[in-house]
Amino acid sequence: MHVQEWLETVPAVAIYALVGVVIGLESLGIPLPGEIILVSSALLASQHGEIDPVILGACASAGAIVGDSIGYAIGRRGGRPLLAWLGKRFPKHFSEGHIATAERSFQKWGMWAVFFGRFVALLRIFAGPLAGVLRMPYWKFLVANVFGGILWAGGTTAVIYYVGVVAESWLRRFSWLGLVAAALIGLTSMLIIRRRAKAAQVVQSEPDPVPAGD
């Protein structure tokens, strides 16, 4: 069953709790489809009046902030052995290469890596625990965490909700032509995002040039 079809059978209060818990666990460092759940819930809210998008966005933001903070505390206490354990437990997400890429981002960008990491699937899982492992000052982490969590969760909810409202009205007018156009736009956007993400990962993985001797 599709995620959105399953969500249609769940009461509104349970959806708020589900979104907050899943996003919180993902932010804590457990690989879960938090973004898929949020997007599906926001689309559902645009089609059913029982779900309030404001409450949905607030629950998502709270889950993101609290989950990241718990992940930070766990990372600060667990240190490097925690990353090694996660690598064995979730090798696809916490491989040495992924950890190295995330660590370079933190060393280069600092608290901005926490802020913008909200919008990148890999860093969204790493941000809290890795910030704790690297001993980032908590006040810096908290500021980036709060603003990043609110902007990502609230912004995603708002954008998807209003796109869903407009798309539903538009599709009623143009029937299958609108559906085909929407699918093509979505597919094109996804391919562009994936290509840029791969290009960025290749650039980050390249070693720094060794300066020539005198």
The answer to whether 37 touches 19, Cβ cutoff 8 Å, is yes
Q: pTM of the full predicted structure? A: 0.67
Q: What's the CA gap between 117 and 126, in Å, rounded? A: 8
Helices 121-133, 12-28: axis angle to 10 degrees equals 60
pLDDT of residue 30: 80
Position 115 scores a pLDDT of 85
- The tokens describing 5, both together, are 């079809």
Annotated domain spans of the chain: 3-174
Q: What is the pLDDT of residue 178?
A: 47
Q: What is the pLDDT of residue 125?
A: 78
pLDDT, residue 84, reads 72
DSSP classification of residue 94: S
Sign of the dihedral through C-alpha 120, 31, 164, 198? positive
119 DSSP 8-state letter: T
Q: Which residue bears the tokens 């720094």?
A: 208
Angstrom distance (rounded) from CA 142 to CA 147: 9
Judge whether 113 and 106 are in contact, CB under 8 Å.
Answer: yes
* Run means of pLDDT, 10 residues per run, the chain, 214 residues: 62 89 87 84 80 92 92 81 70 67 73 80 77 84 90 88 67 48 57 60 52 50
pLDDT at 6: 63
Report pLDDT for 35: 84
pLDDT value for 58: 95
